[in-house]
Amino acid sequence: MVESTKNATLSFDGKTLELPMYSPTAGPDVIDISKLYAQGDVFTHDPGFTSTSSCESSITFIDGEKGELLHRGYPIDQLAEKSHYLEVCYLLLYGELPTAAQLEDFETRVTRHTMVHEQMHNFFRGFRRDAHPMATMVGVVGAMSAFYHDSTDITDPWQREVAAIRLIAKLPTIAAMAYKYSVGQPFVYPRNDIDYASNFLRMCFAVPAEEYEVNPILSRAMDRIFTLHADHEQNASTSTVRLASSSGANPFACIAAGIACLWGPAHGGANQACLEMLQEIGSVDRIPEFIARAKDKNDPFRLMGFGHRVYKNFDPRAKVMKQSADEVLDLLGVENNPILQVAKELEAQALADPYFAEKKLFPNVDFYSGIILEAMGFPTSMFTPIFAVSRTIGWVSQWKEQISDPKLRIGRPRQLYTGSGARDYVDVENR
C-alpha cells in the first residue's frame, strides 16, 4: 500500500476538503477522492476514466510521452529481444524473472494443461460454421467454468493458481479450434514436445493428411506477437476483467468478459482495420493518393496502424515487431502478394514524409503484427483472437492481483444524471 505523503485542498460552495495524495513508483501523483462523496456530497466526472486511477498495480507501467512500456520494471524491447513469451508470462504472474528451474517447472505446468476437455469439442459444433472466431471464443471461454469446477473458488489461492495456468495453456488451443471450425477442418490436438508458439501454429495449420513442420522464423515471430501484446496496463479489456472480477465472478467468466471487450474495433481490432485499409488501397500506385487523403483534415480517411492513442512519441513495441515483419517477409516473399507489397511501400513512403514525422505518426505494433499475420496465412477474422491469446496473461495477472487486494470492493461508477426529475405516473387513457 502506498502511503500518503501530502494532501490536496479542494474548495467549493464554502467547503474545504483535504484529500490525500500518493506518489507512485513512476508516473504523476494521484489524488485520492474515494471519500469525496462522503465528505463533500459531490462526485467527479471523468468520461472514459482517462484521468482516474481505478486501482493500485505493480504489473505494467506506460509513459506515453517517452514511449516507454515496462513489465515489472523491465523494458518491453529488452523482453522481446532477449526473452520469450512464457518467461514473460511468469514475470507478469509472479513479479520476478524465473530461475532456470522455475521456468522449466512453469513451462511444464502450462504444457500439461494445453488440452481441453473432450466434451468441449461438441460445444463448438453448436456454432454456425461462419461464426466469427471471437464469438466462438467468448462462448467457449465463458463455458470453461462448466467444465473445470475445481478452479472457480476465487477465495482459494490454489484454485486461483490452477485457473491461471489453465487459461494461459488452453486459450491457444481454443483459438486454434475456433479457426479450424471456421474453415471446416478437423481439430488438431496440442503436442507436449514443442514450444508454446510453435504449438499454436501447428494447431492452426496442420492437417491429418501430412506432416507439418513449424518454421523457426515464423515461430519466433508468433512468440514476439504474443510477448508484445501480453499486457498494456489498465486498457478497456483489462478494466473490464477487473470490473467483472470485483463482483466475485469466476475467472473464466472474467476472461470471457475481457475477450468480449477486446472484440471492439477501437480496441483489439486495430490490426484487422489496418489490413482492411491496405486492401482498400489495393495497389502500390495508389499510395500517394491515400497519403494525400490522410493529410487532408476534411477527408475522413485515416492511416490505420500509424500513431497511437497512448504513445505520443513512438510505440516501443514497433521496432521489435518491424524486425520480425522483415524476417517473415524475407522468408515468405511479397512478390506475389499485392497487400504485402502495399504495406512495405506505404511504410517506406510514410516514414520518408516530413508530415508524419512532425506529427509523430510512426507505424505502430498493429501495423506490423497485421502484416506478419497476413503473411503467415491467417485471415483477418483471426487477428483479434490471436490478440486475445496474447493478452490472456495480462488479464489473468491483473485478475490475480486484484483478488489479493485487501481493499477490493465491487466496482460501482457514478453518473452525471441528465434525465427527467421525479414525476407522477399518468394513466394510459390520459396520455
> Which residues are known catalytic residues?
308, 366
Q: Are 196 and 306 in contact (CB under 8 A)?
A: no
For 246, the grid coordinates are 470485483
Quote the DSSP letter at residue 430. Answer: G
Residue 20 bridge partners (DSSP): 7
Q: How far apart are CA 54 and CA 232, in angstroms?
A: 15
What are the C-alpha distances in Å from 121 to residues 117, 118, 188, 323, 387? Answer: 8, 6, 11, 37, 22
The grid coordinates of residue 108 equal 511444464
The length of the chain is 431
Give 9's DSSP letter.
E
Q: How far apart are CA 133 and CA 44, in angstroms?
A: 39
Which of 88, 345, 361, 125 is CA-nearest to residue 225? 88
DSSP three-state, residue 363: strand
β-strands 60-63, 68-71 pairing: antiparallel
Residue 75 three-state SS: strand
CA 335 from chain center: how many Å? 32
137 three-class SS: helix
Cα gap 355→361, rounded to integer Å:
8
Residue type, 369: S
Contact 137, 195 (CB under 8 A): no
Give the position of cell 465463458: 142
Beta bridge partners of 9: 18
Cell 524465473 locates to 98
Grid cell at residue 121: 469439442
Q: Between the CA atoms of 267, 71, 391 and 271, what dihedral angle is there, to the nearest 10 degrees?
A: 40
List the grid coordinates of 230.
501480453
